[in-house]
Chains A and B, each alone.
Chain A
Amino acid sequence: MAIAASKVKSAGAAQSPVLGAAMFSPAVLYILLLIGAPFALAIFYAFSDARIGSTQLHYVGLENFRSILQSPSFRQAVQNSIVFTVGSQLIVVVCATILSLALEAPFRGRGLVRFLILLPWVAPVSLGTIGWKWILDSIYSVITWVLVWLHLFSPYDTPMWLGEPHLAMASVICVHCWRMIPFATVIMLAGSSAIPKEIPEAAEIDGAGYFSTLFRIKIPMMLPIINVAVLFGIIFTFTDMTVVYILTDGGPFDSTQTLPLLAFTTGIQGSDLAAGAAISLFLVPVLVAVAYFMLRVAHRAEVV
C-alpha cells in the first residue's frame, strides 16, 4: 500500500508542470545564453557597421553581405568549406564503418584498441593539431625525413605538406578525419551492436557470405545511425576552424581558407565585426538544413 502511494506521488511530481519547467529551465537557459544570444548578436552585427573599436552602431541593411560577396577570399572560402566538409566526411564514414565492424567482434585486447582509437577525440584538439603541425612541418617533418632516408626524395626537393595547395587541403582533411573518426566510430559501434544477432546468423545459415551479409544486411540496418554520424560530422566540420587555423591559417594563399576562419580573421583580427558576422551567417542556411535532416533521421532511427 505504501509502495503504491509512493508511486502515485512520484508520478504526480513528474507530471507537475512547475517541477518539469524547473528541471527543463537550465537547458533552456544554457541554449539561450550560449547559443541564442550570440546568434542574435551575430544577426544584429551583420546588418550594422559594427567595428571592434567602436561602441556605436548604425543600420546598414545588406551592405555587409554585398561587400563580402565581392571578396575573392570569401568565394574561395565557400568553395574550400564544401571541399573540406565533403572530403573529410567521405573518409570518416568509410573508416568509421570499417572500424566499428572490426571492433564489434570480441578479440584479445579489444578494450585497449577501443581506448586508443578514442584518444584523438578526447585529447584537446589544439594539442593534437600542434603535434600534426610538427609532423607535417617543412623542416622537421618526420614523414619527410623518412622519405628522404628512403632516398625517395632529395633533401631540398621534398613534398611540402602544408605548402602546396592540394597537399595542404589534403593535410587538413586528413588531420580533421584523424580527429573525427573516433567519434563516428563510437556512434556506429552503438548502431552495429544494436543489430539483433539472430538476423546475420540466419543469413549465414541461409548461405550468405561475409560481404553479402555485410552489404545486404548489416550496413542497411546501420544506415540510420550512419546518417546521424554523418550529419553530426557535417556540422562539426563546417563550423570548425581549429585544425585549419593551426595547420595553415588558411594558406597557402587562401587555398585552405574556410568560412569560420575567414569570419574570425575579418571580424576579430581585422576588427571588422560586421563583415565577420555576415560571413559567419552564410553558414546558417546550410546548418539549419543539416540540423533539420539530422532531427528527421534521428527520429526515424528511434522509430526503427
Chain B
Amino acid sequence: MARKRSREFTRRELLKTTGGAALAAGIGSAFLFPERAAAQQRTLKICQWSHFVPAWDEWFNKHYTVEWGQKNNVNVVVDNINLNDLPARAASEVSAQKGHDLFMFLSPPASHEKNVVDMTHVYQEVERKHGKKIDLAHKSTYNPKTKKYFAFSDAYTPDPGNWHKDWWTAVGYPNGPDTYDDLLDGAVKIRKTTGHPCGLGLAQELDTSMAMRAILWSFGGAEQDEAGNVTLNSKYTVDALKYMKSLYQQTETPEVFTWTPPSNNQAMLAGRVSYVANAISITRQSERENMPIDSEIMISRALKGPVRRIAAEHVMNCYIIWNFADEKDLAQKFLIDYMDHFHDGFVAGQFYNFPCFPKTVPDLQKEISSDSRAHPPDKYKVLGDVLEWATNVGYPGYASAGISEAFYAWLIPTMFAKVARGDETAENAAKAADEEYRRIFARWA
C-alpha cells in the first residue's frame, strides 16, 4: 500500500511540486532581486550552420556559450541550420527586419553590407589583444569603396587535396600529386590500372566552386583584378578550361556533374575516387567512425599550376550583426570575448577552423603535426603553410557583392562543366562567362 502511494506521488505530485517550486523560484527571485531579473532577460540569439565536425557544435553550444552566458548574465540561444539554408534564412530576417543578433555566413556576405553593423571596432579590439588578422580575413570582409568591414571573420577552413595513398604510390607518386601535371598523369594511370576515377566535382555546388577556382587561379586566370574589373576572358582561363577538359575526359565519370557538397566525401570514403579537393571533414569522419580506409587517405597542399600554387578557402566564417538586432553591443562583446577562447574551439573542432588571428593558436604547426586521432599522427602537418596558398573568393580582389552573386549563380562550375563535356569550346565558354560577370557586376555598380 505504501508502495502504491509512493508511485502515485511520483506521477502526479512530482509535477505539482516541481512546477510550483519553479514558479516560486522564478517569482521569488524576480521579487527579491529585480535588477537581476531584468538583467536575466537579455538574450543573445546566434544563427550559424550545423558544423561539419559535430564536436565543434558540442563545444560551442553546450560549453562555451553556456559559460559565457553565466559569466555575463546573458541567455545565449544558438540556432544551427543546414549550410544551404543560410542565405534564405538571412534574406527572411532582413525582410522582416527581425531575427538573430549574430548571424554567421560561410562565404562573404557583401550584399548585406547596408544592413549590418560596421565591424571595425570588433577587429580593432581583437587585434589589440591577439595581433593582426590575416589578409584572407581582410579581403573577405572589407569593402574598400565604403571603407567598411561588413563582417567579422574568426576562422577559415583550408581546402587541401585528399588522395588515396596505395593507388598513388603504385603509379609512382608516393607523396601524392604536387602539381596539376602530376594530378593528370597519376589520375590517368590509376583510372587505367584500377578503374578508379578522379574526383574533382563539376556540379553547381560549393566544393566544385572552390576546386575550379583553384585551377583557374593556378593557371593564371581570375574572375576580376585587384580593382574589381572583370578579367575572366583571358588566355589563362582558356588554359585552365582545357586542362580540366583533359582531366575529366581521361579520368572522370559523369557522376561529378551530380554532386552535392557531401558527395566527394562519400566517394572518397567509399573507396571510389583517387583524389578530391576538400576540407579535412573526410578524414575526420573516417577517424571518428574507425573506417578501414582512414589510413589510406592522405592530405596534400593545394596543387601547383603553371603560374602559382593556390586554392580558395573551403569555408570562410563571416559573422555579421544586423542593424536591426536587439543586442548589437552584446553581440560585439561576444565576438571579442570569443576570440580569447578561439584555441579551445580550434581543438574541439579538430583543426577544422583555422584562425584568422594566428596568435590565438600560437603553436598551430606543432599541434597539427601530432594528432593522436590521425593515422599517421602527422597527417595534417602539410597544412602548416596553408596561408601561403589559401586565398579568398574574388582573388586577387575583394569578395564583393558581384562576386557573391556570381558565386551563387554557379558561373565558374558551369563554365568548366560545359567545356569538360565538350558542349562548348574553352574560348566560347570563357567569353560567355565573362559577359555574365560583366552583366552581374553592372547590377551592383
**Per-residue 0/1 for A247-269: is the Cβ within 8 Å of any B Cβ (1 yes, 0 no)?**
01111111000000000011011
Q: How far is the CA of A265 from the CA of B260 in the complex (A)?
A: 16
* Inter-subunit contact A139/B267 (CB<8 Å): yes
User: Is B91 among interface residues, defined by CB-CB distance under 8 A?
Assistant: yes
* Inter-subunit contact A253/B421 (CB<8 Å): yes
* Inter-subunit contact A156/B112 (CB<8 Å): no
Other-chain contact of A52, B111, B254, B255 (Cβ < 8 Å): B111
Binds B, one of A64-72, A108-116, A195-203: A64-72
* Inter-subunit contact B91/A73 (CB<8 Å): no
User: Is A160 among interface residues, defined by CB-CB distance under 8 A?
Assistant: yes
Interface residues of B in 388-438 (CB under 8 A from A): 401, 404-405, 408-410, 413-414, 417-418, 421, 423, 432, 435-436
Least distance between B207 CB and chain A CB atoms (Å) = 13
Interface residues of A in 221-275 (CB under 8 A from B): 248-254, 265-266, 268-272, 275
What class of interface size applies to chain A in its complex with B? Answer: 35 or more
SS of B interface (majority): helix
Interface residues of B in 175-209 (CB under 8 A from A): 195-197, 202-205
Q: How far is the CA of A277 from the CA of B150 in the complex (A)?
A: 26
Q: How far is the CA of A234 from the CA of B94 in the complex (A)?
A: 33
Least distance between B395 CB and chain A CB atoms (Å) = 20
SS of A interface (majority): loop
Other-chain contact of A248, B88, B94, B258 (Cβ < 8 Å): B258
Total of A-B residue pairs, C-beta within 8 Å: 134
User: Is B87 among interface residues, defined by CB-CB distance under 8 A?
Assistant: yes
Least distance between A138 CB and chain B CB atoms (Å) = 3
Least distance between B421 CB and chain A CB atoms (Å) = 7
Q: How far is the CA of A271 from the CA of B92 in the complex (A)?
A: 11
Other-chain contact of B195, A56, A138, A140, A156 (Cβ < 8 Å): A156
Nearest B-chain residue to A248, judged by Cβ: B258
Nearest B-chain residue to A161, judged by Cβ: B258
Interface residues of A in 181-233 (CB under 8 A from B): none
**Per-residue 0/1 for A85-128: is the Cβ within 8 Å of any B Cβ (1 yes, 0 no)?**
00000000000000000000000000000000000000000000
**CB-CB < 8 A to A54: which residues of B?**
114-115
Nearest B-chain residue to A265, judged by Cβ: B408
* Inter-subunit contact A266/B87 (CB<8 Å): no
Q: How far is the CA of A37 from the CA of B270 in the complex (A)?
A: 49
Other-chain contact of A271, B91, B116, B270, B432 (Cβ < 8 Å): B91
> Can you give 26 contacting A-B residue pairs, CB < 8 Å?
A52-B90, A52-B112, A53-B94, A53-B109, A53-B113, A53-B114, A54-B114, A55-B97, A67-B439, A67-B443, A72-B436, A137-B258, A138-B263, A139-B255, A139-B267, A160-B257, A160-B258, A163-B257, A163-B258, A251-B203, A251-B204, A252-B257, A266-B405, A266-B409, A270-B405, A271-B111
Which chain B residues have a beta carbon within 8 Å of chain A's beta carbons? Answer: 87-88, 90-91, 94-95, 97, 109, 111-116, 195-197, 202-205, 253-260, 263, 266-267, 270, 272, 401, 404-405, 408-410, 413-414, 417-418, 421, 423, 432, 435-436, 439-440, 442-444
Which chain A residues have a beta carbon within 8 Å of chain B's beta carbons? Answer: 51-56, 67, 70-73, 137-140, 154-158, 160-164, 168, 248-254, 265-266, 268-272, 275
